[in-house]
Amino acid sequence: MTMNDKQIRQLVLDACHGLAASGCGNTIGGHVSMRVPGRDLYWTNALDRALDEMEDDDLLLVNFDGKVVEGNRPISPGIDFHQGIYQQRLEINGVVHTHGPWGTTQAALCRPVRMYHNLSTYFYNKVGVSPDDTIEAIAPVLGDNVAIMIPWHGAITIGKTLPEAAALHVTYEYAARLDVKLAATEAPEIPADACDRLQALLSKANYLDLTWELMLRRAKASPGLPEA
């Protein structure tokens, strides 16, 4: 079943609220998008509200030239990588970028997130490091990665659906927190063969579906923002 605009808009709002309620940022900045199936269009959120504040009027329909074709709200000047990713990866339908506190702190380490937990292995050899947030910089490192880290800036996650991208983003924030807390210690990383095994195991689990449902419950129960 193809989703209509109303359903897509609701998912974008749900993702904004779920990300905020899961600790992925309470400042201006960060954008979520979902491709309109079969069209060179996507829905995203306005620039001048925090993720938890987004309402229906704050949603914008954008074409693949980066022009707003519906909605009358300011848009992020850094939005263009969304259409760039949709054009390069046709299976991707959801893109999430935040300045979540741990993802942003980890980004200052200027390397992919390290493997300190089985959930971190979603990102084992699956993070591209891009010097900035332009599609010109992202495109060469996108490959088949599920996340892009931009040094001294933040993270992007992508998914076949927006819920998948959003749940991955919350998981990335968790992996980044472990990395930041453990990077200066003697804690060993998970060995490579175990990372391969765990990553294969996770691909068969429904952890991301369950995480998305948790995000929805958290947003509904507590629209405010947790301490990072």
Closest CB 225 distance from Zn ion, rounded Å: 18
**Residue number with CB closer to Zn ion (99 or 177):** 99
Closest CB 42 distance from Zn ion, rounded Å: 17
For Zn ion, the binding residues in 7-36 under the rule CB under 5 A are none
Closest CB 29 distance from Zn ion, rounded Å: 5
**Residue number with CB closer to Zn ion (104 or 145):** 104
**Residue number with CB closer to Zn ion (18 or 154):** 154
Q: What's the per-residue H, E or C state across the chain?
A: CCCCHHHHHHHHHHHHHHHHHCCCCCCCCCEEEEECCCCCEEEEECCCCCHHHCCHHHEEEEECCCCEEECCCCCCCCCCHHHHHHHHCCCCCEEEEECCHHHHHHHCCCCCCCCCCHHHHHHCCCEEECCCCCHHHHHHHHCCCCEEEECCCEEEEEECCHHHHHHHHHHHHHHHHHHHHHCCCCCCCCCHHHHHHHHHHHHHCCHHHHHHHHHHHHHHHCCCCCCC
Closest CB 68 distance from Zn ion, rounded Å: 18
For Zn ion, the binding residues in 144-183 under the rule CB under 5 A are 154
Binding residue count for Zn ion, defined by CB under 5 A? 1
Applying CB under 5 A, which residues contact Zn ion? 154
